[in-house]
Amino acid sequence: MAKERRSKAARTPEKEPEWQERVVQTRRVTKVVKGGKKLSFRAIVVVGNERGQVGVGVGKANDVSSAVRKGVADGKKHLITVPLTGSNSIPHPTQASAGAATVLMRPAAPGTGVIAGGAVRTVLELAGVKNVLAKQLGSSNPLNNARAAIAALASLRTFSQVAKERGIPVEQLYG
């Protein structure tokens, strides 16, 4: 009886290649301890599949690569689903805040593209939104702006979701 040996690659299926990750910011942070200052790194990472799922994660570690890896894991834990319209835009205007950062988003006509800056642009691109107008108000902190963008996208609802919550047919909403 010969034992069948399989390689490790044959045993485990490939890890989901459809997830994309982008590092928004890496920052060296310090903690003052008894012996002096302890240096570590913080990475803000946006994870998405460009088909309506996106998340923001933060990782801290003693080196940048470990911080990014932890940020990706944290982002996958905090995924949201974004309802997209037929023209790959958002269904209605929305606004949300996180800390002192406020993000305002409006749907745009097909062909407009993603008109946004900084961390909000990264979140929208990895969510799969192709036509949108967005503006960061207040703080320019990338972490708070990314979290505000996630909160704004999480608050979006489609006509069918609103009709189901109200217990009425969709046609009655247009009336």
Q: Where are the domains of the chain?
A: 20-77, 84-162
Question: Mean of the per-residue pLDDT values for the chain?
Answer: 90
Reference 157, options 106, 87, 79, 94; nearest CA is 94
Domains 20-77 and 84-162 share a fold: no
Q: Is the model's pLDDT at 150 over the cut of 60?
A: yes
pLDDT digit string, tens, across residues 115-144: 999 999 999 999 999 999 999 999 999 999
Asked if the model's pLDDT at residue 8 lies above 90, the reply is: no
Question: Look-up: residue for tokens 């910011």?
Answer: 25
Q: Which residues pair with 55 in a beta bridge?
A: 47
What is the CATH topology of the domain spanning 20-77? Answer: Double Stranded RNA Binding Domain (3.30.160)
CATH code, residues 84-162: 3.30.230.10
Global pTM value: 0.86
Of 84, 149, 139, the closest CA to residue 119 belongs to 149
